[in-house]
Structure 1
Amino acid sequence: MTGEAAVADTNYGTTASGSSFYAAMRMLPREQREAMFQIYSFCRQVDDIADSPGPREQRLAALQQWRDDIDALYQGHPPARLRDYEASVRQFGLERDDFLAIVDGMEMDVPQDIRAPDFATLDLYCDRVASAVGRLSVRVFGMPREDGILLAHHLGRALQLTNILRDIDEDAGIGRLYLPKEGLAQAGITSTDPLVVAADPALPKVCAPLVERAREHFAKSDEIMARNPRPAVRAPRIMSRYYGSILGLLVARGFANPRAPVRLNKVAKLAILLRYGFF
């Protein structure tokens, strides 16, 4: 589902070992790899809360408990589930606000299901559930601060917009619609019912600007990675190529009904890993 943080390949219902995230992270030295799997675990747990079928009040309370636990971690007395994070926080300078932003992003799906947010809200959502993950990750990768923040901004949005375009039908099935209301209006779609929008013949007109925006973010990401040391950008480059390939498959398939699910096959994943994982 699209409500995931974009550190993983498909969704947090899959295991790390079966994802592009796992393939990219296993390229890292041990301490970096452990820190990244801690970030992954955190994202997965808060995402599972947001996507659970439980009462909304209980989910909000569970997310607030994560905020309290993050605060306790940074005050020097972490709860058991975050005790192993202390070393990574110190070693890589992971920032409290980025962890909290991820919780805030997941919470955007909880009080009520997201349906056709305005573009500013959609961009905020992408920043919280994807770029905030990137801001934690680039510190682990050892990138310079300025370029690291820029890469997190652009690559996070590229990945999340690709998720949104890929998961239109899956999200509609659970009552969510992440396509921006401005795009719906420009395409002449007046409904915000996810299933109605997913079936509308004008849907490709809504998707086309998001495809171009994602491509622009991928291009900016490439510029940033090209000017940084290869070891520091190896993992984000693999993720970029995975998601960029998915975007290409989506464009080749098109967004008109019927839409077959799009996935990157194992051969394509292996080719990317061999091309970008060992240079």
Structure 2
Amino acid sequence: MNHQSSTAPAEHQGVAHGSSFYAAMRILPRAQREAMFQVYSFCRYVDDIADSDGPRDERLAALQQWREDIDALYRGEPPARLRDYQESLREFGLKREDFLAIIDGMEMDVPAEIRAPDEATLDLYCDRVASAVGRLSVRIFGLPEADGIELAHHLGRALQLTNILRDIDEDAGIGRLYLPREGLLRAGITSTDPSVVTQHPALTLVCAPLVERAQAHFKAADAVMNRNLRRVVRAPRIMSKYYHSILQLLIARGFALPRAPVRLGKASRIAILLQYAII
């Protein structure tokens, strides 16, 4: 995206259209919907930089430019591509630190591909690329401060761990391995080469604790949503049910070879939407 170009609401919506969260965002009132499309667009732009195959120094420079643009936005001097974010910042109290955390998270993949991070690094990665997005989102949804932060913590990690478990083979194809080093060693896997780990017969032993952890985060997120107004948690409910369903499909399929790709069918997505879209 050209650094100088302005981004209209319709463009943000277009960027979000292919997202699994699109339906959840579409049901929100206009101001919330537009703010969520902005947050999602921002995430896509910085993610696309991190995931591109361009030179690493150019990707780092592009991410740094986004940091500078966010700083300018919060100084009241937004560049063209962030100009229409000003209203959302004012209306929903979005925090600069959360936007910057997302950039930091995306950048973790840039200097070198992530391979078997230790548990602390994996959790930091999940916090930055998922829970920070959640912290912006819950402000837009209108949750109370403490419940919002708690929901973002748990639902962000639940979604990201599910992503990691779903995308093991896809990530390995681009040289990445997000499974924690401690888990590999406990299972007797000493290699951190993604192509070796994904073919290892003990992979199921590495994935099982992550499945349990994701389940626990989904349960904790549900507890927060259960004590808040239904209309306030409609969108995160849809996101949670969508990804929890994917996790259930992964559990049913298992992690031994051969692993067929797991996707949630259109009928299942529509059923989840209908269950929660109506107040």
TM-score by length of 1: 0.94
The answer to whether 1:274 aligns with 2:240 is no
Task: Summarize deviations over 1:196-242 as a string: whole Å, max 9, x none.
Answer: 00000000000000000000000000000000011110000000000
Quote the Cα distance in structure 1 between the aligned partners of 2:248 and 2:198. 20
Q: Which residue in the other structure is 1:28 paired with?
A: 28
Q: Which residue in the other structure is 1:3 paired with?
A: none
Q: Which residue in the other structure is 1:184 paired with?
A: 184
**What SS does the corresponding residue of 1:20 show, helix, strand or coil?**
coil
Quote the Cα distance in structure 2 between the aligned partners of 1:125 and 1:232. 27
Quote the Cα distance in structure 2 between the aligned partners of 1:256 and 1:277. 36
Question: Tell me, which stretches of 5 or more residues in structure 2 are unaligned?
Answer: 1-13
Letter in 2 for 1:53: D
- 1:20, distance to aligned residue in structure 2 (A): 2.6
Quote the Cα distance in structure 1 between the aligned partners of 2:122 and 2:241. 23
Question: Tell me, which stretches of 5 or more residues in structure 1 are unaligned?
Answer: 1-13
Letter in 2 for 1:173: G
Q: Which residue in the other structure is 1:102 paired with?
A: 102
**What SS does the corresponding residue of 2:111 show, helix, strand or coil?**
coil
Q: Which residue in the other structure is 1:208 paired with?
A: 208
- 1:18, distance to aligned residue in structure 2 (A): 3.3
Alignment root-mean-square deviation, CA: 0.9
Task: Summarize deviations over 1:229-276 as a string: whole Å, max 9, x none.
Answer: 111100000000000000000000000011000000000000000111
Contact 2:114 2:177 in 1 (8 A): yes
| 15 and 78 in structure 1: CA distance in 2 versus 1, 3 angstrom threshold | closer
The answer to whether 1:145 aligns with 2:142 is no
Q: Which residue in the other structure is 1:163 paired with?
A: 163
The list of structure 1 runs, each at least 4 consecutive aligned residues, that deviate by more than 4 angstroms after superposition, is: none
Quote the Cα distance in structure 1 between the aligned partners of 2:278 and 2:215. 25
The answer to whether 1:63 aligns with 2:69 is no
Task: Summarize deviations over 1:22-59 as a string: whole Å, max 9, x none.
Answer: 10011100000000000000000000000000000000
- 1:85, distance to aligned residue in structure 2 (A): 0.2
- 1:16, distance to aligned residue in structure 2 (A): 2.4
Q: Which residue in the other structure is 1:17 paired with?
A: 17
Quote the Cα distance in structure 2 between the aligned partners of 1:120 and 1:22. 31
**What SS does the corresponding residue of 1:123 show, helix, strand or coil?**
helix
1:108-257 map, 5 Å: 108-257=108-257
Quote the Cα distance in structure 2 between the aligned partners of 1:20 and 1:187. 33
**What SS does the corresponding residue of 1:110 show, helix, strand or coil?**
coil
Letter in 1 for 2:236: P
Q: Which residue in the other structure is 1:50 paired with?
A: 50
Contact 2:204 2:254 in 1 (8 A): yes
Quote the Cα distance in structure 2 between the aligned partners of 1:61 and 1:116. 25
Q: Which residue in the other structure is 1:11 paired with?
A: none
Q: Which residue in the other structure is 1:5 paired with?
A: none
Q: Which residue in the other structure is 1:264 paired with?
A: 264
TM-score by length of 2: 0.94
Aligned residue pairs, count: 266
Quote the Cα distance in structure 1 between the aligned partners of 2:42 and 2:19. 16
Q: Which residue in the other structure is 1:6 paired with?
A: none
- 1:277, distance to aligned residue in structure 2 (A): 1.2
Q: Mean alpha-carbon deviation: is it higher for 227-236 or for 18-27?
A: 18-27
Using the aligned pairs only, state the percent identity: 77
